[in-house]
Amino acid sequence: MIRLRFKSFQSRILFFFLILFSVILGTTYLLVGMANSSNSNAIIEGDLRTASKIFLRLMDVRTGQLADSARILSGDYAFKTAFASGDRPTIVSALVNQRERIGADMMKLVSVEKNLIVGTDKSDVSGSQFGYPGLMAMAEDQGEAYALLVFGGETYQTVVVPLLAPTPVAWIVLGFKINDAVAMDFKKLTNMEVSFFQEESGGKVRCFASTIPVNQRRELLGLFQTGWKGKNGDIAELRVMGDSYISLKTHIGKTPDGAAAYAVVQRSLTRMMEPFANLERNLVAIGLVGLAISALAGVAVSRSVTKPVTSLVEGVSRVEKGDFSTRVSVEQEDEMGTLAKAINEMTLGLAEKDKIRDLLGKVVSREIAEELLRKEVELGGELRELTVMFVDIRGFSSRAEGKNPKEVLSFLNVVFTTMSTIIEENGGVVDKYIGDAIMALFGAPLKHEDDADRALSAAIKIQNAVEGINQDLESRGMPKVEVGVGINTDVAVVGNMGSMNRMNYTAIGDGVNLASRLQELTKEERYGAKIIISQQTLSNAKEAYVTRDLGAVQVRGRTEPTGIHALLGKART
């Protein structure tokens, strides 16, 4: 059993009063909600049954219109004359004219042998077997026949009457579509949603018309086919796309082969409940205001206790967000005062560490700074496969000669900033600036599966960026610059190197030297390449690139020839 302990009488009174008020408010809210829901369901159910009767009446009226039109057509002398001519174009023309006059969506003429004579649809093939011979047999027995037929994936409310001369010489088939337009007309009349479903072979059901959006229509179809097995006239609550619908299932007919069709008339319970939801929200708002007023007295009494705690929380929150200039002021000589002093001292330490981190991030790449701060600094390294890039600015020495040092450094910083940004955006880190060159690592301290691709992509973007820099230089009447890039992938030693008093996170090894040598080869006119990469880098790349084979070279410092390529760009896919 849980026992609540209170250190003051005021807090005990405040707590139990607020609990009692909350229980009363919650009970009232639940009772009002239940009454609103019950009332809404009753109203919707009555409206649904009325709408269902209206719809069935409309179906009867449409069937009567079809039957009357068909009978008139059956006795029309001009149509009989056209039929008697036996000329198919004449019959088709007469059939189309009659269909337009009647306003039917479908019209066919079927022989007494149950073969299609002509039809108004382009897909109708004269002489073919009419798809519903059972309907013709029903018409022969009863003189007329009514059914739902499916032609070309669309459902028609259909009537069949004989063409008399004076005995039946053919059958006239007339039909109105039951489609989204019919559904929307019904919605305008009743303000109800309606969807039409038809049974198919294998127990499947298809939705052939509806007023609801297509995405909700598919979900409703799934509920109708698998979840709702209600009979004709049954009402159920269905959830479609997060909205609750009260739904009434109404049988509207069947095909000659016995497949039933249904209309599901719906009204959104969610929208029906919106006014009641506003009432409930107002009730909650009133209750919350009451709670707030009741709590004010308790807050006033406990203010002297909570004020220093609030001050501490606000201070720690600002420190958490990175504001290390925060100082907590608590004018008390107790545990709260001691805690405030400790927080202020901790904030000073954090500010100092943040300053060091910020300064270190300006000297080395962010990733290297994080690597150095993450663990205890010590000399040493590890073997790791990585891709090394050397980027050199051509002709920088001649450009710097006789120039103002400030102007030279300004130009160099602009170029370095552009290239360094591209390298970092592609997941590389700038290891060091060597005069007018950059050494960059892809794969240390952070390794990626596609470090070779990142390096190649960065090299292409650097050359593109140089073109933009040259356009700016040319517009100011200044000479252009050229940049050479060498890239190699190999196993190297990476880590902190130097002395305990001064160290540098870098990579060393034969593969690093090879990348530097490849950059130097871009200066040779016989290669005519701005980016030279090793065969190992190209082999490690996962994407396709446009390259030019430069053969194999004996690079200074290596005994074995090295296959090299000029990188021209990415291959288009």
90, 82 Cβ separation under 8 angstroms: yes
**Three-class DSSP category at 488:** strand
Question: 525 or 277: which carries more pLDDT confidence?
Answer: 525
Q: What is the pLDDT of residues 464-485, one digit of tens each?
A: 998 888 888 777 767 788 899 9
Fill in the DSSP letter of residue 572. Answer: P
C-alpha distance from residue 459 to each of 431, 450, 463 (Å):
16, 14, 6
pLDDT at 433 over 90: no
The torsion angles phi and psi of 401, rounded to 5 degrees, stand at -65, 125
Percent of the chain whose pLDDT exceeds 70 = 70
- The pairing of strands 154-164 and 116-119 is unpaired
Question: 335 or 393: which carries more pLDDT confidence?
Answer: 393
Question: 323 or 148: which carries more pLDDT confidence?
Answer: 148
**Three-class DSSP category at 180:** helix
> CA-CA distance, 507 to 464, in Å (whole number)?
27
In a 13 Å sphere around the CA of 516, the CA atoms on its Cβ side amount to 14
The confidence score (pLDDT) of residue 156 equals 84
pLDDT at 85 over 70: yes
Question: 246 or 362: which carries more pLDDT confidence?
Answer: 246
**Is the pTM value of this prediction over 0.95?**
no
The confidence score (pLDDT) of residue 445 equals 82
Question: 189 or 508: which carries more pLDDT confidence?
Answer: 508
The answer to whether the Cα torsion of 59, 63, 66, 72 is positive or negative is negative
pLDDT at 528 over 80: yes
DSSP for 200-225, written as a single string = -GGG-EEEEEESS-HHHHHHHHHIII
C-alpha distance from residue 203 to each of 232, 249, 374 (Å):
17, 17, 64
- The pairing of strands 531-534 and 482-498 is parallel
> CA-CA distance, 197 to 199, in Å (whole number)?
7
Chain CA centroid to CA 12, Å: 51
The confidence score (pLDDT) of residue 343 equals 64
pLDDT at 297 over 80: no
179, 154 Cβ separation under 8 angstroms: yes
The first and second tokens of residue 383, run together, are 């073997």
Rg of the chain (C-alpha set) = 43
Least confident range from 24-38, 123-137, 224-238: namely 224-238
**Three-class DSSP category at 474:** helix
Q: Helix, strand, coil proportions of the chain in percent (round to 5)?
A: 50, 25, 25
Name residue 262's amino acid. Answer: Y
pLDDT at 221 over 60: yes
The confidence score (pLDDT) of residue 519 equals 93
Helix axis angle for 366-374 and 335-363, nearest 10°, is 130
Residues 6+ apart with CB under 8 A from 161: 67, 70, 71, 73, 74, 139, 143, 144, 171, 172, 174
Nearest alpha-carbon partner for 207 in 190, 224, 192, 191: 224
Q: How confident is the model at residue 504 (pLDDT cuts 50, 70, 90)?
A: confident
> CA-CA distance, 561 to 184, in Å (whole number)?
79
C-alpha distance from residue 407 to each of 402, 404, 434 (Å):
11, 5, 19
C-alpha distance from residue 448 to each of 387, 412, 454, 511, 556 (Å):
11, 30, 9, 18, 30
The confidence score (pLDDT) of residue 362 equals 46
Alpha-carbon torsion, ordered 559, 560, 561, 566, to 10 deg: -100
The confidence score (pLDDT) of residue 415 equals 85
pLDDT at 309 over 90: no
> CA-CA distance, 461 to 456, in Å (whole number)?
9
The confidence score (pLDDT) of residue 568 equals 92
Q: What is the pLDDT of residues 132-162, one digit of tens each?
A: 877 788 888 888 888 888 877 788 888 888 8
73, 98 Cβ separation under 8 angstroms: yes
Name beta bridge partners: 239.
Answer: 244
Question: 354 or 122: which carries more pLDDT confidence?
Answer: 122
- The pairing of strands 437-442 and 154-164 is unpaired
pLDDT at 104 over 90: no
> CA-CA distance, 63 to 71, in Å (whole number)?
12
Question: 523 or 362: which carries more pLDDT confidence?
Answer: 523
Q: What is the number of other CB atoms lying within 10 angstroms of the CB of residue 58?
A: 15
Nearest alpha-carbon partner for 416 in 439, 400, 386: 439
The confidence score (pLDDT) of residue 567 equals 93
pLDDT, mean over the chain: 76
The confidence score (pLDDT) of residue 194 equals 83
Least confident range from 235-249, 348-362, 449-463: namely 348-362
Q: How confident is the model at residue 1 (pLDDT cuts 50, 70, 90)?
A: very low
The first and second tokens of residue 498, run together, are 């130097």
The confidence score (pLDDT) of residue 163 equals 83
Nearest alpha-carbon partner for 493 in 411, 370, 380: 380
Q: How confident is the model at residue 189 (pLDDT cuts 50, 70, 90)?
A: confident
The confidence score (pLDDT) of residue 181 equals 84
Domains along the chain? 75-177 (3.30.450.20), 180-270 (3.30.450), 279-354 (no CATH), 378-570 (3.30.70.1230)
Q: How confident is the model at residue 336 (pLDDT cuts 50, 70, 90)?
A: low
Q: What is the pLDDT of residues 354-409, one digit of tens each?
A: 554 554 444 445 555 555 555 544 455 788 899 999 999 886 666 656 566 777 77
> CA-CA distance, 467 to 482, in Å (whole number)?
9
